[in-house]
Structure 1
Amino acid sequence: MSNTFDLNKILRPHIISLAPYSSARDEYTGHTGIFLDANENPYGSATTENYNRYPDPYQAEIKQKLIALKNISSERIFLGNGSDEPIDLLTRATCTPGQDHVIIMPPTYGMYEVSASIHDVKIDKVSLTTDFQIDAESVIAAITPLTKIIWICSPNNPTGNVMQHEAIQTILENFNGLVVVDEAYVDFTDTPTWIQHLDKYPNLVVLQTFSKAWGLAGIRVGMCFASAEIVKILNKIKPPYNISLPAQKALLEGLDSVDKKDKMVAEILKERSSLCNMLQDLSLVIKIYPSDANFLLVQFEDAKAIMDYLIHETIIVRDRSRVHLCEGCLRITVGTKEENEVLIETLKKYQQKGVIV
């Protein structure tokens, strides 16, 4: 199989001819004037901030800042309500319910499967290898004429590792549907982003987020980078005002503080190394998997008992012990120096007592 990607061949037919909702801001994109077009309250709002006007449906100011930051044109940028929205929209645009397929590679981020299930799309699972890498040959063998999307998380959640470039490249070159590389944790690795390969692969879509390195999880904004053709489809089917005005304001402020983001990332990487070293000194730790993210996947002697103990001590980590290939593992987000030290001291107490509370 060789790549002869044609977007119209994988889109659901009615999406191609769909007339999108036309909002008031589609007819006038300026920021000044007497606005009597959208049935808004002209007197302001019952808050200290004025939120009586609808937000920019295409987030032009934000995209202008991203052009330089990501070295990409605005026509190739889609902003969604978290990364969950582009995941949902890509599924809805291409997959006919009860008919089409997507491929995921467990263990991986759970929303790919959830989104497919919501839309009654068949999920074909091709396991990662035991060292959490892509089995490209098996992925290609799993492709059928009904496969529309292949989801790849890199750095992967919950394992933390970057997927091998050659494996992703092989899939891109041998699949005529969408290959989505989710780079939510890309700021924590030295591995280059796949954004730089968009010109070469028209079927490539790259997801990133403001929730991790930028520390803006609360405003729920995700980034999607793709061909202008794909972005046009996403804009066609998204809710008209999908990013709220408060979220856009917060994001514009955040994008003016790239140095602060970089400083936070450097601190997290420093603490990741320190936390890894401290965990290695604990006898109850079996294995710490290499990480290119802001978390560690750690295998413990009795993960469930330790999880229960940590919850009792109000330290909340993520139990991944029932996830494929992650048996006996907890996923631990890298906290502040003080938080990490409290975690280690608590694990030491558990280790010394050998008692479940």
Structure 2
Amino acid sequence: MAGGLAREVIRSMRSAFPFDSRPGRHDLINLRDNENPFGGPHRHYPDNRNGDLVAAYARALDAVEIAPAPGGPEWHWGADSILITRGAADGLDLIFRTFFEPGSDAVAVTPPSFAIFDELAAVYRIARHPVPLLGENLDRLDVGRLAALPVKGVILCDPGNPTGTCLAPEDVLLLLDSFRGLVVIDEAYVECSGRPSYRHLIPDRPNLVVVRSMSKALGMAALRLGAVLAHPELLLALRKARLPFALPGPVTAQAMTELSQLAMLRGQIEAFAGERDRFAAELAGCPRVGRVFAEAGFVTIEGDPDLAAELRRAGFDTMPEPMGWPGHVRISVGRPSANSRLIAALKAAPRAAQAPKTTPETGPETGPGTAPETAPETAPETAQTPGTTRTAGTAHSPGVTRETGTGASTGAGAGAGVEPATGAKTRAAWALRTARTAQAPQTAWSPRSQGKGRQT
């Protein structure tokens, strides 16, 4: 049962605030919450379940996301399967508090990845097992190794931050079919990626948790809202661990207003993706820039160590060595005029040595309570390997064959004792094959049209 994944203390705990909604929704006078009846317009506590906001958010997701192929299970997205949080990071914090026992449980991460995963593991004394991403574009999982580790959970970031690429969907499906612990996928940038969300797999996979953000593509960063989407049994455990009345009423009211403007949301996401692709194409032609990764809500480039410092002197604040990934710079997508000025600054900068080709570093264990780690069994690839088949828009690891529509993977992703996904669950590949090319015209160059990384 999915509920068994929660910590024992959470499973046995009785919530101190079991009520979900305000008494007025049931035509009752509120003499329960100790509010000041003589207070001002904000004297009432907000709704504890946020049912109206959940409904508005679910409608917005259906409107702005790439739709999965038909044939999936019937599923109602409501307050029993969506928990609105104070940003995606709050959702991740809540997941660590609810499911991983301090000092005894362990998680696997796939560097280079979101640094908050490591920070939360350190804070909650959860041992961390790094299993580096594989493949030329760092879009492959070492599924065999991940499934064999003595861990309770695997934490993924897809689209990746800082890598800016999407994971191979067949690897994610294989992991879900071969690993019985909790699989958490941080999808903060999925609306920008041109693929459907993995949330559509939750009905058939009760061990899957998807974390989302309203700060990125939805453009509501100041409101600090995110969401955790999961099977109702997992969500019930999360609600027990969550503090009551977590979302301020004025914040939820403003979010309701913005989430109701579906055409505006679609337009701003399309505008962002178009400008990101234009920006990436221009960056790929700049001196001192190596490969360009642009499937998320930013652009990551390979560049020499001084590149970010020179951009700062030119007036642009970027992120060098994002999340500890050496030899790279993460650049947010700005307004077209700002992006064009940055391109001009790069082209005017003095030339230096060719951008280094680097590999992700696993790094030392962080924080107290983490278990010592052995070196990775296989080093991640950073260049095309002999004997590998390459097609436009994909990247392959040695011995791996990717066939559209099968959802199966062999070689690097299939370790001993890990069976390829078969039967009903493989039908979930429906959700994960759609690219932006099927939805809208392409710009002159984009990761979907000419490969995720461009070598210069």
State the TM-score, normalized to the length of structure 1. Answer: 0.88
Determine whether 1:285 maps to 2:278: no
Native 8 Å contact 1:322 1:328 kept in 2? no
TM-superposed CA distance for 1:295, in Å, is 1.0
Alignment correspondent of 2:341: 342
Write the deviation string for residues 81-127 of structure 1: whole angstroms up to 9, x where unpaired.
11112211221122111111011100111111111111001001100
Aligned with 1:212: secondary structure?
Answer: coil
Aligned with 2:25: secondary structure?
Answer: coil
Q: Which range is displaced more, 312-321 or 10-19?
A: 312-321
CA distance in 2, matches of 1:10, 1:64: 27
Native 8 Å contact 2:184 2:208 kept in 1? yes
Task: Letter of the 2:111 partner, please give it.
Answer: P
Alignment correspondent of 1:224: 228
Stretches of structure 2 lacking an aligned partner (at least 5 in a row): 63-75, 354-456
Native 8 Å contact 2:154 2:183 kept in 1? yes
TM-superposed CA distance for 1:8, in Å, is 4.4
CA distance in 2, matches of 1:36, 1:202: 38
Structure 2 vs 1, CA of residues 25 and 190 (structure 1 numbering), >3 Å: closer, same or farther?
Answer: closer
Matches within 5 A, 1:140-219: 140-141=147-148, 143-144=149-150, 147-219=151-223
Matches within 5 A, 1:1-357: 6-22=1-17, 28=23, 30=25, 35-45=30-40, 50-70=41-61, 72-74=76-78, 75-130=80-135, 131-132=137-138, 133-141=140-148, 143-144=149-150, 147-289=151-293, 291-300=294-303, 302-303=304-305, 305-320=306-321, 323=324, 326-351=325-350
Write the deviation string for residues 150-185 of structure 1: whole angstroms up to 9, x where unpaired.
111111111111111111111111122110111111
TM-superposed CA distance for 1:28, in Å, is 2.1
Indicate the structure with greater helix content. Answer: 1
Native 8 Å contact 1:104 1:151 kept in 2? yes
Structure 2 vs 1, CA of residues 195 and 43 (structure 1 numbering), >3 Å: closer, same or farther?
Answer: same
Q: Which range is displaced more, 240-249 or 342-351?
A: 342-351
Aligned with 1:198: secondary structure?
Answer: helix
Alignment correspondent of 1:3: none
Aligned with 1:38: secondary structure?
Answer: coil
Alignment correspondent of 2:391: none
CA distance in 1, matches of 2:323, 2:244: 39
Q: Cα RMSD over matched residues?
A: 2.2
Task: Letter of the 2:108 partner, please give it.
Answer: I
Aligned with 1:116: secondary structure?
Answer: helix
Task: Letter of the 2:207 partner, please give it.
Answer: N
Structure 2 vs 1, CA of residues 203 and 350 (structure 1 numbering), >3 Å: closer, same or farther?
Answer: same
Structure 2 vs 1, CA of residues 29 and 91 (structure 1 numbering), >3 Å: closer, same or farther?
Answer: farther
How many residues align structurally? Answer: 337
Native 8 Å contact 1:23 1:240 kept in 2? no
Aligned with 2:203: secondary structure?
Answer: coil
CA distance in 1, matches of 2:207, 2:284: 42
TM-superposed CA distance for 1:34, in Å, is 5.0
Aligned with 2:212: secondary structure?
Answer: strand
Structure 2 vs 1, CA of residues 270 and 26 (structure 1 numbering), >3 Å: closer, same or farther?
Answer: closer
TM-superposed CA distance for 1:7, in Å, is 3.0
Aligned with 1:180: secondary structure?
Answer: strand
TM-superposed CA distance for 1:311, in Å, is 2.3
Native 8 Å contact 2:60 2:259 kept in 1? no
State the TM-score, normalized to the length of structure 2. Answer: 0.70
Task: Letter of the 1:245 partner, please give it.
Answer: G
Aligned with 2:350: secondary structure?
Answer: helix
Q: Which range is displaced more, 268-277 or 118-127?
A: 268-277
CA distance in 2, matches of 1:288, 1:182: 22
TM-superposed CA distance for 1:186, in Å, is 0.8
Task: Letter of the 1:338 partner, please give it.
Answer: S
% of aligned pairs identical? 26
Task: Letter of the 1:81 partner, please give it.
Answer: R
Aligned with 1:199: secondary structure?
Answer: helix
CA distance in 1, matches of 2:307, 2:342: 11
Where relative contact order (Cα < 8 A, 6+ residues apart) is larger, the structure is 2
Q: Which range is displaced more, 179-188 or 60-69?
A: 60-69
TM-superposed CA distance for 1:350, in Å, is 2.5
Structure 2 vs 1, CA of residues 43 and 27 (structure 1 numbering), >3 Å: closer, same or farther?
Answer: closer
